[in-house]
Structure 1
Amino acid sequence: MNLLFVKLDYQLRKVEYFFALVAGMIALIVMLMVTLDVLFRNLFNTPIVAVYELVTYSFIGMIALGFPYVQAQNQNVVIEVATSSLPAKYKNVLDLIGTVIGLFVIGVIAWQTGISTISSFVGNEYSSGLIRIPIWPAKLVLFLGLTFLAIRLFLDVFLIATNSKNRKDESETTTIQ
């Protein structure tokens, strides 16, 4: 059973890495759009239409697609004020509890985002700017990111419970006290 979770972890990391690459490409496109908008605004006094809306929707993709990768790399911000002096056994129990709570919360948010995405698609929901941009693609990307984060958390519950996923080394963790 443990080998199955390790294999699933390996396959899921490939998807998470792909999502992180897509998020990076979105960031590059956002930087290009904003730079061009500033240049056009200052040099030609003609801003690019709908850049604000596109950048806003792009940020959703950058953040949502990066969530699962950060969780897989165990690189979330950790403040260990109360747990820094605990033995590893208790830290793992607390990690497990936190991961289960995170799974529940993210699962509910992903579920509701999926419902909102379907509603937006069926209702033909558009932005209210100069150029009408459909909103459902941004919601779909958010749903995908949150769903894969929930899958990652689900897998992490089993990996932590079987001690297959180790905590960050103390040398890697910056503790705020």
Structure 2
Amino acid sequence: MRRTVHALATACGWLAAGFLAAIAVATLVQIGARQFGHPIEMTELSGFFLAASTFLGLAYTLIAGGHVRVSLVSQFVPDGVRRIVELWCCAIGLAITGFMTWQVGFFALETWRFNELSPGLLAIPMWIPQSAVAFGLAVLVLALLEQAVVVLRGQEPDYATNDDGVAE
């Protein structure tokens, strides 16, 4: 399971990077078209790319130790207590992220059923960017679950060992 979750998170990280590059390309196209007197509106598309990039990159960032962690308390407590704190944090993260995944996924399904389109000039079906957000959250749920299992086994979680490349 661990290899699969890491591979999925890495693939999502690459997708997130691709969407960031797409924002740059969309901006350059918009600037170039404006210089030739043909304004193209890409702001809405760039916003969708930003949402996809943000949420698809969450699981990769968790496993890589890139999220902000406050370890002020846990660094001074014994290992047994630290493990409980880590499990508690994973459980809270799972609860919140699981709820968000369910709600965003349901919302994307509803917008697909009603064929809701974006209000901008491009009229993109809203379920497309919402699905990217829901998928990114679902992969984060898997990554949090996998990290909780790692902590339950008494091992150091990846987000702690990958923090600046040094284990705490």
TM over 0.5: yes
State the percentage of identical aligned residues: 19
Question: For structure 2, which runs of at least 5 residues remain unmatched after alignment?
Answer: none
Equivalent residues of 2:9, 2:143 under 8 A apart: no
Partners of 1:170 and 1:159 in 2: CA distance: 16
* Worse-superposed segment, 52-61 or 164-173: 164-173
Distance 1:169 1:85, change over 3 A: farther
Count of equivalent residues? 165
Partners of 1:96 and 1:30 in 2: CA distance: 37
Instruction: Report deviation, 1:169.
Output: 7.4
Q: TM (normalized to structure 1)?
A: 0.84
| 2:75 corresponds to | 84
**Residue in structure 2 matching 1:102, options 78, 93, 109:** 93
Instruction: Report deviation, 1:153.
Output: 1.1
Equivalent residue letter for 2:86: D
Pairwise mapping of residues 5-154 of structure 1 onto structure 2 (< 5 A)?
8-41=1-34, 43-49=35-41, 51-154=42-145
More helix by share: 2
Partners of 2:27 and 2:47 in 1: CA distance: 11
Partners of 2:69 and 2:27 in 1: CA distance: 32
Q: TM (normalized to structure 2)?
A: 0.89
Instruction: Report deviation, 1:134.
Output: 0.9
Equivalent residues of 2:30, 2:39 under 8 A apart: yes
Partners of 2:27 and 2:67 in 1: CA distance: 28
CA RMSD across the alignment: 2.0
Question: For structure 1, which runs of at least 5 residues remain unmatched after alignment?
Answer: 1-7
Distance 1:123 1:164, change over 3 A: same
SS state of the match for residue 74, structure 2? coil
